[in-house]
Structures are given as C-alpha cells and as structure tokens.
Amino acid sequence: MWTSVALLIGSLFLPAAPAPRTPVLVELFTSEGCSSCPPADALLARLLEGTPVDGVDVVALGLHVDYWDRLGWKDPFSSPLFSQRQEAYGRIFGEDRIYTPQMVVDGAAEFVGSDSAAAAKAIRAASEKPHVPIGASADLRGDLVRIAADAPPVPPGTSEKIAVLVALVEDGLTSNVKRGENSGRTLTHAAVVRRIEAIGALDRDAFAGEGQWKLNPAWDRAKLRVVAFLQGQSTRKVYGSAQVRLAAR
C-alpha cells in the first residue's frame, strides 16, 4: 500500500511531457546579387536558431534564384528551378509578387524577407492551423544519402493533388562576393537548398516513399539536413513539413 501511495504522490510531481512543436515551412527566395537580401538571409538564420513563436519548429528553405546572375555576379547556389518555384507562387499571389528577398510561410503568406514582424505574424497564423503529420529519415552511407518520408492519407474534404517533396539543405555557407551589388562583402547563408524534388503524392492510402541521392564532395555533411513537406499542387498550400539531420552509418 505504501509503495502504491508513494508512486501516486511521486507521479503528481513528475514534469509534464513537452507538447509537440508545430512545424511551419519558411521559404526565402534570395540572391547574392541582391543588395537587400543579406538582412533577409540573417533573419532566416535567426528563425532557425529560435523561432519568435512558442511551440513552433521553423523548417527553413533558402532558395537562391538565378535571375540576378546576369547582373554582375553569379550566385554559386542559384538554380533556375528555384526561380520557377517562385514563379509558381507568383501565379497564386500575383505576377507582381515575384521579387527578392521574398519570404513565403507554409505556402500561404508572402512578404519582404527581411521583415521580422511580418515573419512572426505569418508563422503564428500558420501554427494555429491544422497540419498533417509527416515523418522523415535520412541515412548517410558513404557518398549516398537514403531519404524516406511517410504521411497519412489525404485530409478529408481535400480536392487538390498533394505532392510529397524532399529537399537537401546545407547550413553555414559563406561566399566572398567580388562583383555586383554586394561586391566586397562576405555573405553567410543558412538552409541553402542543394536539391529538391517530388517523390510521390498523397492518395486515399497512407504514403511511404524513399529515394537515394549522391552527395557532392564539396558539401559539408555535418551541416546537411533533409526537409520533407506536403504541398498542394493547385493552391501551393503546405499541409505539413518535417526536418531531420543526416545519420551517418
């Protein structure tokens, strides 16, 4: 009896398990050729270090567009695929809403990427909406990374197709810019997208898929993360996201 009472009393003073954090996808469209982009790059890094909204896990993507490359400095992290991704958002937000630096939160809100108050507001609003749980794992074997993602079926009442996307991102990158608007500056970047692609789509059944990528030897494996997220193909809404560091074997 005394043992049962002691266990009961002890359980009353055990710390409560922390509530799960809500993942919110934050994308930054940026360029080393843009003089107004470095403050936005710094904001993205701060959001990764500690979100301004309690209970939120910021899942960050730094997407370097290529349309600045012809104006004096070629961004080493740029890709036409990232410019095309921004154009897809432009078809939702308006063609005049394609610019740098631009931040997009959960595919639903866009604003100037260096605006910390707007970022906090959009992240808070996104965190209050339902999110589909998505699992992600990444195993590193030699120069290959095996990526897996899983998610439940399409949410009830959803009419659009939902793509399952995965991205490989690298933190702590630095460039010495020699030309263009940022000539002479040393720029730092977080969550730089190295690769992004769709690995499937949600359906009436639960999703489980995987892929395998070969790593570029120039990438710092200790600074790589994998991001998985669910995105509506019509609305561009992000239904859920997750991130995980590489696990070496």
- 160-206 pLDDT, tens digit each: 999 999 999 999 999 999 999 999 999 999 999 999 999 999 988 89
Confidence of residue 239 (pLDDT cuts 50, 70, 90): very high
* Cis status, amide bond into 101, omega within 30 of 0: yes
Span 21-26, mean pLDDT? 95
Amino acid residing at 21: R
pLDDT value, residue 16: 53
3-state class of 20 per DSSP?
A: coil
**For 22-248, which CATH class?**
mainly beta
End-to-end Cα distance, the chain: 49
- The pTM score is 0.90
Q: Which of 166, 154, 119 is CA-nearest to residue 239?
A: 154
| Of the candidates 32, 40, 28, the residue with the CA atom closest to the CA atom of residue 72 | 32
In degrees and rounded to multiples of 5, residue 9 shows phi and psi of: -65, -40
Integer Cα distance of 224 and 30 in angstroms: 19
Residues sharing a CB contact under 8 Å with residue 201, sequence separation 6 or more, in sequence order: 161, 162, 163, 164, 207
Residues 216-226 pLDDT 10s: 999 999 999 99
Using DSSP bridges, classify how beta strands 22-30 and 56-64 pair: parallel, antiparallel or unpaired. parallel
β partners of residue 136: 149
